[in-house]
Structure 1
Amino acid sequence: MHPTNQRVLDAVTAAGIEPRMVFLEEHARTAALAAAQIGCEVGAIANSLVFDCDHEPLLVMASGAARVDTDLIAATLGAGRVERASAAFVREATGMPIGGVAPTGHPGRLRAVVDVELEQYDQVWAAGGTPDTVMALSYPDLVRLTGGTPTRVR
């Protein structure tokens, strides 16, 4: 097991959630690739997207079926600007590569929002810290795990 996967599992366990990590046969750097391997709807994939929100990292847990509206997020949060973060910014904020960013296990707590569209699924799938791992979570557990605010993202 990769040390990042263990860090994520430890954080999930510390939050009082039973970890259910799945190791995929191939890397799944997109929601569609992950959904195909898991056998779920693309919308049930909880993409961990990191944005630059007024020069601070913002974790947006978005449905794989959603395209995040950064203007809506900025207005909702009262931010001056929200834009896609660079790969280096993401790695520094999370310690994880794009395509494998988990909702937890980061060097520090990230400000987070969680897409309300994910609530319709009994189980959502989030990255486990590497591009070949995913975790099954309930929506309430995802919100609790991230400390995020349920928010419309599109």
Structure 2
Amino acid sequence: MSIESVREFLTGHGREGDILQTSGSSATVAEAAEAFGVEPARIAKTLSFRGDSPDTCVLVVMAGDARTDNAAFKTTFGRKATMLKADEVEALTGHPVGGVCPFANPANATVHLDTSLKRFDTVFPAAGSADSAIELTPAELEDLSGAAGWVTVSRLP
């Protein structure tokens, strides 16, 4: 039901018709790039990390070609970059693995946007399911996600 919560959220922002869905999977960067006809770097992947307590998480949205820089993550967030286990993702983010996105998240999930996204005119974050996305400018992504801010916790190839 996660895509439905995102659809409802986007409806409240006048963007209900902007969700793109594919007949195949868009759960990985490569699959999403192929499904939506864009270069993999423009896929805005949302990574789920442990928060300060067991019932919180930090979501970092970064470019599809970026990798987490563990030292930068620790400097920025004051803790090791520990990703959620697959069986914890939906409970803490409200979205299934492959569909985690920066929209319609529970209060215990804090969204941060990585500066690796700023080099593109538009990017494609998931929209709550493993077959969806939405095309947004980085400014639109910042506005719609309610992000806590921009961070640099990635390194590019």
Q: Partners of 1:58 and 1:91 in 2: how far apart?
A: 13
Contact in 1 for aligned 2:125/2:133 (Cα 8 Å):
yes
Q: Partners of 2:118 and 2:152 in 1: how far apart?
A: 11
Structure 2 counterpart of 1:45, from 30, 34, 43: 43
Q: How many residues align?
A: 150
Which residue of the partner structure matches residue 142 of structure 1? 141
Deviation at 1:17, TM superposition (A): 5.0
Q: TM-score, normalised by structure 2?
A: 0.86
Structure 1 counterpart of 2:34, from 25, 33, 36: 36
Contact in 1 for aligned 2:73/2:79 (Cα 8 Å):
no
Contact in 1 for aligned 2:2/2:96 (Cα 8 Å):
no
The runs of 5 or more residues in structure 2 that have no matched partner are none
Which residue of the partner structure matches residue 9 of structure 1? 7
Q: 1:107 to 1:80 in 2, by over 3 A?
A: closer
Offset from partner CA, 1:77-104 (integer Å, 9 cap, x none): 3x23221111122111112111111211
Query: Which amino acid is the alignment partner of residue 102 of structure 1?
Result: C
Query: Which amino acid is the alignment partner of residue 68 of structure 1?
Result: T
Tell me which stretches of 4 or more aligned residues in structure 1 moved more than 6 Å.
none
1:5-154 equivalent positions in 2, closer than 5 A: 5-14=3-12, 16=13, 18-19=15-16, 20-55=18-53, 56-77=56-77, 79-108=78-107, 110-148=109-147, 149-154=149-154
The runs of 5 or more residues in structure 1 that have no matched partner are none
Q: Partners of 2:150 and 2:106 in 1: how far apart?
A: 23
Query: Which amino acid is the alignment partner of residue 111 of structure 1?
Result: T
Q: Partners of 2:79 and 2:122 in 1: how far apart?
A: 34
Offset from partner CA, 1:92-142 (integer Å, 9 cap, x none): 111211111121112335212111121121211011111011111111111
Q: Partners of 2:100 and 2:135 in 1: how far apart?
A: 14
